[in-house]
Structure 1
Amino acid sequence: MAPGLDEQKQRRRTEKRDEILAAAAEIFLSEGYGRASMDQVHAKIGGSKRTLYNYFRNKEALFEAIINEVSDRALAALKPPLQEDDLSSALLKMGTGYLTVLLSPEGLALYRAMISEAPHFPDLARAFFDNGPGRGSRHLANFIREQKARGVVDVNDPQIAAEQFLGAVRGDIHLAAALGIRQPSKQLVTATVTQAVETFVRGTELKCDNR
Structure 2
Amino acid sequence: MAARSAQPLPETPSGVRDRLLRAAQAQILAAGFFEANMEQIARRAGTSKQTIYANFQSKEDLFREVLRMTMAEAGQAGEPDIASLGFAEAVRAYVLWIEKSALNPENLELYRANIAAAAAFPALAAELHHLRQTASHMGHRLLTHPGRAHLPAIPPERLSSWLGVLAMAGPRALLGFTPTPDERRARQQAIVQLCTGGWRMPVEPCPTALPLIEPAAHVPRQIEPGSRLSPERWTHLLRIALRGFAQTGLRHTSVEEIGAVAQISKMTIYKRFGNKQGLFAAAIDQAVDDLLAVREPLTFDGNIRSALETVARQQDHWVQRPEYSALLCLMITQAPAHEAMIQRAWSRLTAPTLNELSTRLRQWQAEGAVHLVDPVIAAEQFLLLAARGNRRLTATLPWEEDEVRRHARDVVSLFYH
Q: TM-score, normalised by structure 1?
A: 0.69
Q: Tell me, what secondary structure is at the counterpart of 1:177? A: coil
The equivalent residue for 2:196 is 201
Matched, 1:155 2:152: yes
CA distance in 1, matches of 2:198, 2:73: 28
Question: How far off is 1:163 after superposition?
Answer: 2.7
The equivalent residue for 1:208 is none
CA distance in 1, matches of 2:61, 2:192: 37
Question: How far off is 1:123 after superposition?
Answer: 0.9
Matched, 1:178 2:174: yes
The equivalent residue for 2:126 is 126
Distance 1:69 1:189, change over 3 A: farther
CA distance in 2, matches of 1:204, 1:10: 59
Question: How far off is 1:58 after superposition?
Answer: 3.2
Question: How far off is 1:122 after superposition?
Answer: 0.5
Distance 1:11 1:122, change over 3 A: same
Question: How far off is 1:64 after superposition?
Answer: 1.7
Query: For residue 195 of structure 2, what is the amino acid of its counterpart?
Result: F
Question: How far off is 1:95 after superposition?
Answer: 1.6
Question: How far off is 1:65 after superposition?
Answer: 2.3
> How many residues matched?
190
The equivalent residue for 2:284 is none
The equivalent residue for 2:116 is 116
Task: Please tell me whether the aligned partners of residues 99 and 169 of structure 1 are also in contact (alpha carbons under 8 angstroms).
Answer: yes
Matched, 1:143 2:141: yes
Question: How far off is 1:127 after superposition?
Answer: 1.8
CA distance in 1, matches of 2:12, 2:79: 26
Bigger fraction of residues in helix: 1
TM-superposition CA deviations, 1:110-160 (whole Å, max 9, x none): 22233333123111111221111x225x8455224423xx46425312223
Query: For residue 167 of structure 2, what is the amino acid of its counterpart?
Result: V
* Pairs within 5 Å for 1:8-157: 13=14, 19-47=19-47, 52-53=52-53, 55-76=55-76, 79=79, 81-132=81-132, 134-135=133-134, 139-147=137-145, 150=146, 152-153=148-149, 154-157=151-154
CA distance in 2, matches of 1:10, 1:155: 54
Distance 1:188 1:17, change over 3 A: farther
Stretches of structure 2 that go unaligned for 5 or more consecutive residues are 1-8, 201-417
Q: TM-score, normalised by structure 2?
A: 0.38
The equivalent residue for 2:393 is none
Stretch of structure 1 that moved more, 83-92 or 187-196: 187-196
Question: How far off is 1:106 after superposition?
Answer: 1.7
Question: How far off is 1:43 after superposition?
Answer: 0.9
CA distance in 2, matches of 1:185, 1:9: 52
Q: CA RMSD in A?
A: 3.6
Question: How far off is 1:191 after superposition?
Answer: 4.4
Q: Tell me, what secondary structure is at the counterpart of 1:22? A: helix
Task: Please tell me whether the aligned partners of residues 75 and 101 of structure 2 are also in contact (alpha carbons under 8 angstroms).
Answer: no
Percentage of pairs with the same residue = 25
Task: Please tell me whether the aligned partners of residues 96 and 189 of structure 1 are also in contact (alpha carbons under 8 angstroms).
Answer: no
Stretches of structure 1 that go unaligned for 5 or more consecutive residues are 1-7, 206-211
Distance 1:50 1:119, change over 3 A: closer
Distance 1:81 1:12, change over 3 A: farther
TM-superposition CA deviations, 1:14-34 (whole Å, max 9, x none): 6x6554333212322444445
TM-superposition CA deviations, 1:145-186 (whole Å, max 9, x none): 423xx4642531222322332222122xx5333223x33466
Query: For residue 135 of structure 1, what is the amino acid of its counterpart?
Result: T
CA distance in 1, matches of 2:65, 2:181: 29
The equivalent residue for 1:192 is 187
